Amino acid sequence: MSEKLLVNGNEAVALAAIDCHVDLGCGYPGTPSSEILDEFARLGGSAEWAPNEKCALEVGIGTALANGRTLVTMKHVGLNVAADPFFTIAYSGTPGGVVVISADDPGMASSQNEQDNRRYAVSAGVPMFEPSDSQECYDFLIEAFRLADTFRSPVLFRMTTRVCHSKCILNRHGAGLAPRKAEFIKDSKSNVMVPAFAKLAHRRLRKDLESMAELNEKGSWNKVIKGSSELGIITSGISYQHVLEAAPEASILKLGFTWPLPKKLIADFAASVKRCIVIDEGDNFLADNINAMGISVEGKDQEFRFGELNVTRVRKLIAGDNTPEPPAAPGKPPQLCVGCPHRNTFEALRDLECIVSGDIGCYTLGVMPPFNAIHSCVCMGASVTVGLGMRKMLPENEARKVVSVIGDSTFLHTGINGIVEMVYNRPATGHVVIILDNSITAMTGLQENPATGRKLDHTPAPAVSLEKIVEGIGVDNVDIIDTTAEHEKFKALLQERLSSNDTSVIIARRPCILAAVKAKSYEVKK
Amino acid sequence: MSNVHNIVVAGLGGQGVLKVTDILAEAVFRAGFDVKKSEVHGMSQRGGSVSSEVRYGEKVASPMVPAGEADVLAVLDASQVDVVKSVLKSDGVIITPEDLPLDKLQNPKALNTMMLGAISNHIEIPVETLLESLKANLPEKLHEMNVEMFNLGRNSR
């Protein structure tokens, strides 16, 4: 079986997962990774949205401990949430393979930072692949699962926005991996990370990394393109594609398996050229690690650490031209949709001059005019706890203005802990949390979540009740209101809650206008 | 990469920029070229700027069109011309809504396929292949109207 397809990197990953007989795909939606699981499910794979990335990775680990093969997907900041299991599963490993997709967003097309998650591979001691196009997404995912089978190790699969979302031609050759059989072997020494066993596991991990580095010297995933002996370029990921175009005359060492690095291959390449420069998007990851091995290569100027690389910037980089670039023409920023239920909530918050601790979702756009009604935003779930911190520091008249706003999916992701904190360590003035419940995970493309009553594939599922959760934790007041239909009532309610010393949750419930249309089509389907 | 053809389409979220470049990319794929398609959308579902790029030829490397190298720049909303014009080649072709028979546009959602018709005059892809791809990417009930809009765009020069 072999077919030629025009697909983006996310679709290529899903196709490879099918051809590797992946038993379970799980993750949390996040641009640019979100389409992988939708596509995997559409192709017949078993896929689910977890409440957050930590849960997703842990379910993946459990499946793999039962000898299954699992694909866990998330955007770069999601791995911060999943970092706890990620570091320790590197020690113990799993009999079935776990591949963790980290979809990084250099240039921040849709993210709050541009962290370079290749650092996680080094820090946790996890091997890493970096595809540069859809073909490599497909081929390397198969290699990643093969490596996982060989070493019992989790594998980090680092993609970036342009790799995830660019379409190119894929030869789906179908040479994947055989299915695995479910079984659980009780092997506590390998799978229970108490200190006595973890000490052994850590030694095993470092030894395995040495073996992987050796394997990496000869792998098909790295390639040398012989060109001029004057200029040699070491590169990986999407930067490789820009290099091919910017410096067609150069010799190129293109790395696909970028941790642990193949020292001899790199040293031989560097020695074969007069000038050796590393072209690397994001951190100086390759240059720093190669120089640390005692192989002298040129890295890039700080100027190129910001944003994405492209052909023009790579040409500048090779020319040693570090002059600041002209700023890009400002485009039209996104806005809350006309008819979006959040609009009415933000109007009230603005009119009441609240201090608003915000969160991650469409509603972060409440920061834009005409609302100007988000005053802090850090990471998923932080609205509740950051708001509590403000209440504790500010004088009473100011503290009373502090409101936390959080979406339904974000609340289930990491907002619940904040409510526990609010009840346990309550500020003297109490606090007010508004759950902006539009009954969908809207910003990333209308994915389901545990409260929508539908699974990833939009078939019916048990719905988690937001109001029962907050009531159960022990919040003083829980109200449910449609801030569009009952705008004045909402304003009065908000004022009343702000003037009391109670802990209050107001669930502002009205479906996203984009999701409402879709939800109807799902009902017809079933 | 001198044999690579670069087409950039820009507009606002909701105008079908990504759909029309999907149709175009699939058509050049069907025509037997190497092709790459890239897009910047971010939070564009919320009405912000969107642009998407199709590159094709014997062999394409970077999925992104370098500044000053677009052969054709098609802009679906006049407000976006200044945002993207730096991508256009000095002798490249720019097409804006002004160049289209907007009085015959049956539905604002079909502006993208009317634009595709106008683009088709500047690329060496058979019209039949473009229409095959258009039909493969749209539900059947929309075929007739979109083919009509495509033809209006194609005959607009």
Domain ranges of chain B: 5-154
CA dist A379 and A414 (Å) reads: 10
Q: Is residue A335 part of a domain?
A: no
Structure tokens at A398: 């100011």
Q: What pLDDT, on a 0 to 100 scale, did the predictor assign at position B40?
A: 76
Test B42 with A337 for CB contact under 8 angstroms. Answer: no
Among chain B residues, CA nearest to A445: B45
**What do you get for the CA distance between the two ends of chain B, in Å?**
30
Q: What pLDDT, on a 0 to 100 scale, did the predictor assign at position A195?
A: 96
pTM of the shown model: 0.96
- Side chain identity at residue A142, one-letter code: I
* Residues of chain B neighbouring A165 (CB-CB closer than 8 A): 38-39, 41
**pLDDT tens by residue, A1-58:** 799 999 999 999 999 999 999 999 999 999 999 999 999 999 999 999 999 999 999 9
Residue identified by tokens 């007069």 is: A274
Burial-class residue A244 by CB neighbours within 10 Å (0-12, 13-18, 19+).
Answer: buried
The number of beta carbons lying within 10 Å of the beta carbon of residue A325 is 15
Q: Is residue A330 part of a domain?
A: no
3-state secondary structure of A357: strand
Cis omega (within 30 of 0) for bond into A195: no
Q: What pLDDT, on a 0 to 100 scale, did the predictor assign at position B45?
A: 62
Does residue B115 contact residue B7 with C-beta atoms inside 8 Å?
no
Which residues are registered as beta bridge partners of B5?
B56
CATH of residue A229's domain is 3.40.50.920
Question: Average of pLDDT values for A354-363?
Answer: 96
CA dist B79 and B101 (Å) reads: 18
Range of the structural domain that residue A7 is part of: 3-216
Test A334 with B44 for CB contact under 8 angstroms. Answer: yes
Test B46 with A334 for CB contact under 8 angstroms. Answer: yes
Cα A172 to Cα A38, A137, A142, A291: the distances in Å are 19, 11, 12, 37
Regarding whether A19 and A161 lie in a shared domain, the answer is: yes
3-state secondary structure of A179: coil
Torsion-angle region of residue A31: left (phi > 0), alpha (psi -120 to 50) or beta? beta
Question: Average of pLDDT values for A112-129?
Answer: 97
Among chain B residues, CA nearest to A340: B46
Test B62 with A329 for CB contact under 8 angstroms. Answer: no
- Residue A525, pLDDT above cutoff 70: no
Which overall architecture, per CATH, does domain B5-154 show? 3-Layer(aba) Sandwich (3.40)
Regarding whether A459 and A346 lie in a shared domain, the answer is: yes
Of A288, A319, A350, the domain-final residue = A319
Q: How confident is the model at residue A209 (pLDDT cuts 50, 70, 90)?
A: very high
Burial-class residue A425 by CB neighbours within 10 Å (0-12, 13-18, 19+).
Answer: exposed
Does residue A255 contact residue A130 with C-beta atoms inside 8 Å?
yes
Regarding whether A43 and A107 lie in a shared domain, the answer is: yes
A443 in reach of chain B (CB within 8 A)? yes
H helix and E strand count, chain A: 22, 18
The minimal CB distance from A169 to the residues B35, B45, B64 is found for B35
Residue identified by tokens 């990417």 is: B137
Regarding whether A148 and A188 lie in a shared domain, the answer is: yes
Indicate the average pLDDT of chain A: 96
Q: Is residue A334 part of a domain?
A: no
The nearest CA of chain A is from the CA of B97 a distance in Å of 18
Of A265, A286, A319, the domain-final residue = A319
Regarding whether A468 and A350 lie in a shared domain, the answer is: yes
- Strands A167-172 and A355-357, by their bridges, are unpaired
**What do you get for the CA distance between the two ends of chain A, in Å?**
33
* Residues of chain A neighbouring B25 (CB-CB closer than 8 A): 6, 167
CATH of residue A57's domain is 3.40.50.970
